[in-house]
Amino acid sequence: MDEIKKISFFASYGEALQSLDDRSAGQLIKAMCSYAFDGKEPDKLSSKVKPMWLLVKPNLDTSLKKIKSGRKGGKQNAS
């Protein structure tokens, strides 16, 4: 994966994290960072974290796609 240095962190992520205990919240943050920065899908997520991950992942995918598109100059206009 291209070197990604930042990702968007939405308020909804913070709201979701607040609903988790500290251990589970840490697991979700680590999963997000590992996926966004290293391209590694998380494994062995707890039953509390797995549903949160499934909601966050599509947003991360969209953010990563936009970052990569921007590096390529974005969408070309047809003439």
33-66 pLDDT, tens per residue?
999 999 999 999 999 999 999 999 999 999 888 8
Give this prediction's pTM: 0.79
Burial of 15 (0-12, 13-18, 19+ CB in 10 A): exposed
